[in-house]
Structure 1
Amino acid sequence: MTNPYQASPPPQPPPFTPGAPQRRGSNKFVVFLVLALVVGGAYGASKVLGADKGKSSTSTSASASPSAKPTAKDPGSPESSSDTSSAWKVGDCGGPDASKGADAYKRTGCSDSGASFKAIDIKEASILPGSIQCPAGTDVMIEVSISYNGGKSSGIPTNTVCGRNLSNEHPGDAGAGGGQLVKGDCVTSQAKEVPCGGSGALKVLGLVKTKEECPSGTTDPIRLTISVGRPYDVICTDG
């Protein structure tokens, strides 16, 4: 007689038979899902990279301008404009580029009718314009930079070109009233550069950091507003 309280044993899986086919349906689905995700991710990444490549571009450009007239705040700092010039070297010539603006310049052949100045020195670029000191006789300062996005941005400065006019007009010469401020120039009591010989012109005897460094003969030292990078803070004059 069968015991009614005896539990029936659970069904046992069929014994494993070597060589018999096994169930792999679930494994195939997992492999398929992984492959689909990998392929889809790769395709999406290629589309994103392709779009970025099409949107971004790099171009070489330059910013060129006459050196600014010195003021009591920051004498000798160049202004900023833009053109399509690239790498400059000593001896290169340049001239105005009307297509880029009133203060823009571009490289030209020295014999070209549009050439107006020649590069007499090349300086490393700086984010502190007042720290760039061109040699005496520099009439114009050219800031060369690399622009991105088709030249629509102002660009990253790479070099500064110190140029001298090809004509007989040289405002950068000492006392002529233009270019960067140098020893031998003249200024007003407000530190504005003016041609020497005019009314109220004070002769510059030195450009130093402190009044105590002014040379003998200085009667009216002019202390400037502090500007990071500028090599001097005091104009020594004999006014």
Structure 2
Amino acid sequence: MRASSVGRRGVGPVCALLLATAVLAGCGHRSDSEDTGPHAVATSAGPSGYGAVFLAVDECSSFGTTSFTEVPCTSERAAARVVARHDGGVAAGPLCPQTTDFVLHIGATRAASGGNGDGAVPQGYACMRKLEAPHPGDPGGGGGPRTIVGDCVYSTGDGQVRETACDGKGGRPPEYRVTSAVADRSACPSATALYVQLGGDRPVGCARPV
């Protein structure tokens, strides 16, 4: 038996351990080394002008192929809003809200030479919610940095599972749906076929075949 992390672009990963009883265990919170969005790296050339903190809560970002920048939320370039913002790394920091669509990793930058330090941006991460649907972080949406109640997964055949859209439009049909979150596996219904680590106060997700 082995456990390993499964990540992929644009959808939330689930770590899984295949047991002799054909029950899977998973994890729904990514580490800093895992992809949490479309190459989720936020960049800033200095003070943004849109707020005292780069990508603070309720501020907006653009979409890009390799990086994101802060833009006014009224701009036609605005694509997602910050719903939570934390300093430090994702692995050691607080969980993003459950319906977060993706996470932006913010690299530490220093103010320009001779400046007063106001342009410095500490390392951190921003939990993002797209301004328009579809929202991959919604229950059953097939993505997002967290696995939550209502999400669906499928087996990859090597003792691991990945999240997929419950409506079958995610490229792979769903095999299990997370129906509840509990504090301990013993609290899951007897029909549970998959245990998913969700994090938070109720870290165990009970999943049944679709």
Q: Same fold per TM (> 0.5)?
A: yes
SS in 2 for 1:147: coil
Instruction: Report sequence identity in percent.
Output: 22
C-alpha spacing 1:105/1:72, structure 2 compared with 1 (3 Å): same
Computing the radius of gyration from Cα coordinates, the structure with the larger value is: 1
Determine whether 1:143 maps to 2:117: no
Is 1:221–1:234's contact at 8 Å kept on the other side of the alignment? Answer: no
Superposed, which structure 2 residues align to 1:33-182 within 5 Å?
Answer: 69-72=12-15, 74-77=27-30, 79=35, 81-84=41-44, 87-97=54-64, 102-126=65-89, 128=91, 132-147=94-109, 157-158=123-124, 160-179=125-144, 180-182=146-148
More helix by share: 1
Specify every segment of 5 or more residues in structure 1 that has no aligned partner in the other structure, as ranges. Answer: 1-65, 225-229
Is 1:90–1:121's contact at 8 Å kept on the other side of the alignment? Answer: yes
Determine whether 1:194 maps to 2:157: no
Kindly state the Cα deviation for residue 108 of structure 1 after the two structures are TM-superposed: 0.4
Aligned with 1:183 (options 149, 160, 175):
149
C-alpha spacing 1:194/1:223, structure 2 compared with 1 (3 Å): closer
C-alpha root-mean-square deviation of aligned residues, in Å? 3.3
- Structure 1 partner of 2:19: none
Kindly state the Cα deviation for residue 204 of structure 1 after the two structures are TM-superposed: 0.4
Is 1:67–1:76's contact at 8 Å kept on the other side of the alignment? Answer: no
Specify every segment of 5 or more residues in structure 2 that has no aligned partner in the other structure, as ranges. Answer: 1-8, 17-26, 46-52, 113-120
Is 1:117–1:163's contact at 8 Å kept on the other side of the alignment? Answer: yes
The alignment covers a number of residue pairs equal to 159
C-alpha spacing 1:212/1:88, structure 2 compared with 1 (3 Å): same
Q: Which amino acid aligns with 1:84?
A: S
